[in-house]
Amino acid sequence: MFKLFDLSLILNGFPIKKAKVAFEKILSVSDENYEGYVLQKRTEITEYHLKNNPYYREMVGKDSFEKWENLPVMTKKNFQKPLKERLSEGFTPKNIYVNKTSGSSGDPFIFAKDKPCHALTWASVIFRFGWFGVDFNTSYQARFYGIPLDFIGNKKELLKDWLSRRYRFSVFNLSDAVLEKYLAVFKTKKFDYINGYTSSIVLFAKFLQKKNIVLKDICPTLKVCMVTSEMLFEDDKILLENQFGIPIVNEYGASELDLIAFQNPNGEWQVNSETLFVEIIDEHNNVLPYGQEGRVVITSLYNKAHPFIRYDIGDIGILDEKSTLKKPIFKKLIGRTNDVAILPSGKKSPGLTFYYVTKSIIEDDGNVKEFIVKQTQLDTFEIEYVSEKELNSNQILEIEKAIRLYLEDYLNFIFTRKDKLQRSKSGKLKQFQSMLK
């Protein structure tokens, strides 16, 4: 069969055939030899950048290293300088893959991958989606994402959608009238799977729930739904399963790296150990054992164009105690390090605590469609929500009481009903945001 998706990668200079062979070779490394594979690859990529990347060499302070744990931990702020100053020798914007992070963490930057590395990223994605019977060359995707609004950017993205067998549902306007049109599309097209931003897909599921519709009943070809880029809460997962009638798969990735973790058919959140090396570290940059919570730090084992070595992605997580080097498993992903609320008592709490507690009460009757929480002052939180009718004083009291129970007393809350919530340029919804300096 003619493979249009693979061909589009090849025409763009990404050697996908070689990458698939290389990926299969990595998969064949046995459990007992996997430690040797990881140690060799992380050493090779670090030595490569110390030799060929002046920016990384300057950051380390020497042209060799003895101990992995002594290498500096890189952050997004390290990359907020012109790309040409960060590229390895021999690479220019003309012979690499260049893109920009979404900026949902507050620190956007332009990044690069060499073309074999980017092809390997696609080999990794193709392999994992294949666990659920998805083939990018033949499967038809219902895609809930943002889209560039400028003419050229918009047409480029639509061309990519056509080459990749994707039908795009823009997430910038998700009113009931728009969702009604989206539902009509599902009645006429034979989609194989859904992929996109968690919050947008959850909103569509709530719309279906209100209409008492199971999506697979009107689109029987649907097999699976992959959600990405935003937190998926357990009750939302149940809602999606009920309203779509298909398995829901949780994906965790970063455009500058690769798919970081992907829920496998056994329901485990399996970490990509083929092209990445993932560590969990504490505030002093010490590596933590499996089972302990800390910052997620990732090394890209194959990117020669740009160093991502011990790169703090800005998330907090826990690797399961049953993890191995070949098959690491995320036990929990807690959220962004910059999404932390600092309370008047000095206590620090993940911002998603507010979101989670509020969510457990605010959505009981299906009135509230979606909401976000913003910390505007040390003791003040603004909750913006979209709903059919305004929250009443009893509901507000219940929310305030629950948050105080989980956190502390003497906090102030401002509830603001909105017609729609502000999304990032990419279409993501930032669920908790601290406005404090």
Asked whether residue 427 is assigned to any structural domain, the reply reads yes
Asked whether residue 424 is assigned to any structural domain, the reply reads yes
Per-residue model confidence (pLDDT) at position 187: 96
- Residue pair 252/260 in contact (Cβ under 8 Å)? The answer is yes
Asked whether residue 130 is assigned to any structural domain, the reply reads no
Asked whether residue 416 is assigned to any structural domain, the reply reads yes
Per-residue model confidence (pLDDT) at position 201: 93
- Alpha-carbon gap, residue 296 to 298, rounded angstroms: 7
Per-residue model confidence (pLDDT) at position 199: 84
Total domain count for the chain? 1
Asked whether residue 143 is assigned to any structural domain, the reply reads no
Mapped onto helix, strand or coil, the DSSP state of residue 109 is coil
Sort 350 into a burial class: Cβ within 10 Å, 0-12 / 13-18 / 19+: middle
Asked whether residue 13 is assigned to any structural domain, the reply reads no
Domain that holds residue 403: 340-434
Give strand pairing partners of 417.
385
Asked whether residue 419 is assigned to any structural domain, the reply reads yes
Asked whether residue 120 is assigned to any structural domain, the reply reads no
Q: Using 70 as the pLDDT threshold, list the residues of the chain that sit under it.
A: 1-2, 102-108, 149, 335-339, 350, 352, 356, 360, 363-366, 426
Please state the length of the chain: 437
Which pair of structure tokens corresponds to residue 132? 């659920």
Strand residues in 264-395 grouped as ranges (E): 269-271, 276-281, 293-300, 311-319, 329-336, 340-342, 348-350, 368-377, 380-387
CATH code of the domain covering residue 402: 3.30.300.30
- Alpha-carbon gap, residue 143 to 160, rounded angstroms: 12
Per-residue model confidence (pLDDT) at position 28: 97
- Residue pair 146/172 in contact (Cβ under 8 Å)? The answer is yes
| b/e 264-280 (16+ beta carbons within 10 angstroms → b) | eeeebbbbbbbbbbbbb
Q: Are strands 193-197 and 166-170 parallel, antiparallel or unpaired?
A: unpaired
